[in-house]
Amino acid sequence: MEALPKHHFLLIPWPAFGHIIPFFQLAKRLADAGISVTFLTPSSVFPRLPPLHLPHHLSLISFHPLSLPLIPELPEATTTSDFHIPLRAAFDALQPLFQTLLPKLSPKLIIHDFTSYWLPEIATTFGIPTVYFSIFNAASLAYLIVPHRVTGKSFPPTAADLTSSPPGFPSSAVYFHPNNWKGLIHFLSLKSPALNAFLEATWLGDAAQMDSGSSREFVKCIDRLDKQPIKSVTYVAFGTECRLNQAQTNAVAIGLEESGFPFLGVRRASIHGVFEKLPNGFLERVQGRGLIFEEWMPQARI
């Protein structure tokens, strides 16, 4: 007889793949510890997630669809890769839904993203504890939300403030660029107690890493890279948000082919699960020199 799950946790990431994937990896680590997980995210996300292979992952991780409310300011959207626009207003409109959803799901613990700043207050009324899971590392958060930036007369910080180190910080070549300012102001404007409780713990250290044992493609990739001279391979990836059109896809492929160098490319499907076509005969002509993958790959580990 299989052992019963130790606990049931509810995971709620912000609907952007840069957030969804780390939460998905966290769900697998929790299942490894015998904890059942309900993963709450828009249903269109489910087919785009890496597949689950291990029996205990399949039995302990379940997916609950989340429908974002339609509001006048936004078209219908499910993730930030569907529409490159802010979804915060739609996400905030979910608050009444959680008043009825939490009693039904009855989680032992809720693990949420920074945009669900209003969730702990709702969960408290049902006696459910919450934990904020940050996909951002502690160093970058310390630079961004040091008290000098979020309190007193200096708030909200100006573009000039954010492109220089806070007082008392060592000078650094790492800094925010002026074009980051609007997005960061949006982040800092969240009236959230979570902004004072960012956590980074070693037991979550590998939560955002891909389980290499579950991906044959990853093993194939590493095997190929290990056989190449150091710094000889060009890595080509445009992230989870960017989608190339047909002309751009052709241009990148032609450039890689004519360069003559080894390369590793990662392609992402459109929001409808369709890939732009590669030039005729491209894969055959670069065989042995180039690899193209059409699934999510652990970029940091590569």
Q: Which of 46-55, 86-95, 158-167, 192-201 has the lowest mean pLDDT?
A: 192-201
Give yes or no: residues 132 and 219 share one domain: no
Domain end (from 204, 229, 245):
204
Is 282 inside a domain boundary? yes
Domain end (from 204, 232, 253):
204
Is 149 inside a domain boundary? no
Per-residue model confidence (pLDDT) at position 67 = 82
Give yes or no: residues 29 and 116 share one domain: yes
Question: Which tokens go with 140?
Answer: 């970058």
> What DSSP element (H or E) covers 246?
helix 246-259
Give yes or no: residues 128 and 227 share one domain: no
DSSP 201-224: -GGGTTTTS--GGG-HHHHHHHHH
Per-residue model confidence (pLDDT) at position 88 = 74
Domain end (from 185, 204, 223):
204
Is 79 inside a domain boundary? yes
DSSP 178-201: GGGHHHHHHHHT---GGGG-----
End-to-end CA distance of the chain: 40
Give yes or no: residues 120 and 21 share one domain: yes
Per-residue model confidence (pLDDT) at position 227 = 84
Is 99 inside a domain boundary? yes
Is 179 inside a domain boundary? no
Is 156 inside a domain boundary? no
Give yes or no: residues 128 and 223 share one domain: no
- Reported for 94-100, long-range contacts at CB under 8 A and 24+ positions apart, including other chains, are 94/66, 94/68, 94/69, 95/122, 98/122, 98/123
Q: Sign of the C-alpha dihedral, residues 86, 89, 95, 97?
A: negative
Give yes or no: residues 33 and 131 share one domain: yes
Do the beta carbons of residue 5 and residue 36 sit within 8 Å? Answer: yes
* Domain total of the chain: 2
Give yes or no: residues 120 and 13 share one domain: yes
Per-residue model confidence (pLDDT) at position 222 = 79
Is the overall model pTM greater than 0.75, yes or no? no
Give yes or no: residues 116 and 227 share one domain: no
Per-residue model confidence (pLDDT) at position 69 = 73
Q: How far is it, in rounded angstroms, from Cα 190 to Cα 208?
A: 24
Per-residue model confidence (pLDDT) at position 214 = 42
Is 131 inside a domain boundary? yes
Domain span at 90: 8-136+198-204
Which carries the bigger pLDDT value, residue 199 or residue 298? 298
Give yes or no: residues 19 and 118 share one domain: yes
Is 75 inside a domain boundary? yes
Give yes or no: residues 219 and 114 share one domain: no
Which carries the bigger pLDDT value, residue 175 or residue 72? 175
Read off the pLDDT of residues 77-108 as tens digits, 9 standing for 90 and up: 454 444 434 567 778 888 999 999 999 999 99
CATH code of the domain covering residue 254: 3.40.50.2000
- As a whole number of Å, the CA-based R_g of the chain is 21
Read off the pLDDT of residues 241-280 as tens digits, 9 standing for 90 and up: 677 888 999 999 999 999 999 998 888 765 455 678 899 9
Read off the pLDDT of residues 176-208 as tens digits, 9 standing for 90 and up: 777 666 666 666 665 544 444 334 333 333 333
